[in-house]
Homo-oligomer: A and B are copies of this chain.
Amino acid sequence: MAQVSTSHRGNALNYSSIRKLLPYAKKAIESGVKVIKLNIGDPDLKTPKEFLNVLQNWDIDPIRYAQPAGEPELIKALLSYYHDCGYIDLSAEDIIVTIGGSEALSMAMFAVADIGDEILVPEPFFANYSILASQLSIKLVPIPTSIKNGFRLPNKKKIMGLINERTKAVLYSSPGNPTGTTYNEKEITMLLEIAKEKGIYLISDEVYREFIFSDDKHVSLVPYMNKYPNNLIMLDSFSKRYNLCGARLGMLVSKSEKVKDIVLRLANGRLSGGLIDQMMGAALKDVPKKHFVNSTKELKKRRDVVINNLKKIKGVKTYVPDGAFYLMVELPIKDAEDFSRFLLEEFRIDNTTVMLAPGKGFYLTKNKGINEIRIAYVVNSAELKKAIDIIGKGLEAYTG
């Protein structure tokens, strides 16, 4: 009887590094310890009631397939949202609704890159970029950035030096996960020049687009799509913006006919996204603009609480990010993963501890980010203050 085996590419897929800590967190919680979770980007704010109302008033029966590229009502609402953002040249056919931002990313990468092709991405980056690229046998090539200057992009020459004949795109998130770093117009313009000169794509992950804390506006790729119709793809999602993580509602926006044609074939291949999620998303038209004013104000307050309290801890280095709800922190120790485990296993204040995301999970380059952590400020200010205090006292206990 012959032996049966699984695929090499399947066995090459990584789990996220956060996963390693889960058993320790579970054990702590089961033993009655309170764990403040700063490790994942699942915001605690409420879903706007306009969306929930759609469920409570549901009347479509049977729950039929949705249109492969998205329900027209949802696309209409999205178009209106983007027009309000000032992207007046966008049309309904430039928007394809996907099953979460994850699917939008996967489809975009598939559309531009073949097996063995390369996509540049500023490092550190969202760990799932790696997993999705690896599924598609695409090689991600890091553009190095550093906590020392708040993870700004390097200059054009340095980026150009990373491009070869297999490079098909630069993928980036701004405001960034895990950094919160928000690229300014100068940085985006540089990337546009590179894409144009080298004949490659820019793929922007803009899911944190509304969470900007400076006076500068978010610099989106969309307004540049008329000038560079063939080079640009924007990825977006309802998840973070409307506290709708579990509604799998992503969008791929492009004016490239060739890209959209491939993405539509992919969308046909999986038949339909979720009809309920999409009809719920269409209520976007009823959500008041002040939703973002309130949530951004709250997030900015939290960011400041985190930074002001981190400043009190000796040897900790960070910076002031302009967006999203993350920041990276350098700790005065060798191994932040070991420290994170220490917090979960051994260290408590008032029977409370903290779960962190080890920085190295956001780096593809070996030995980078080992002494860094990512903090997601997805709990309220009082909890955050307590959490940072635990990190500070925990560092003393860990190193002392």
Residues of B within 8 A of A1 (CB): 196-197, 199
Which listed residue (B8, B56, B246, B271) contacts A66, Cβ 8 A? B246
Which listed residue (B6, B52, B100, B273) contacts A259, Cβ 8 A? B6
- Quote the shortest CB–CB distance from A192 to chain B (angstroms): 12
- Quote the shortest CB–CB distance from A173 to chain B (angstroms): 15
Interface segment out of the listed A211-219, A261-269, A349-357, A391-399:
A261-269
Work out how many copies of this chain go into the complex.
2
- Quote the shortest CB–CB distance from A293 to chain B (angstroms): 18
Contact check, B110 vs A7: say whether CB atoms are below 8 A apart.
Answer: yes
Q: Does A288 contact B (CB under 8 A)?
A: no
Residues of B within 8 A of A10 (CB): 110-112, 262, 265-266
Interface segment out of the listed A14-22, A312-320, A331-339:
A14-22
Residues of B within 8 A of A275 (CB): 246-247
Residues of B within 8 A of A19 (CB): 268
- Quote the shortest CB–CB distance from A162 to chain B (angstroms): 16
Contact check, B58 vs A55: say whether CB atoms are below 8 A apart.
Answer: yes
Residues of B within 8 A of A196 (CB): 1-2
Which listed residue (B11, B63, B273, B277) contacts A47, Cβ 8 A? B63
Q: Does A131 contact B (CB under 8 A)?
A: yes
Can you offer 25 A-B residue contacts whose CB atoms are under 8 A?
Answer: A2-B197, A2-B199, A4-B256, A7-B114, A7-B117, A9-B114, A13-B265, A13-B269, A16-B268, A42-B64, A46-B62, A51-B63, A55-B56, A56-B57, A56-B58, A63-B246, A102-B269, A102-B271, A110-B135, A245-B271, A246-B275, A248-B272, A274-B274, A274-B276, A276-B276
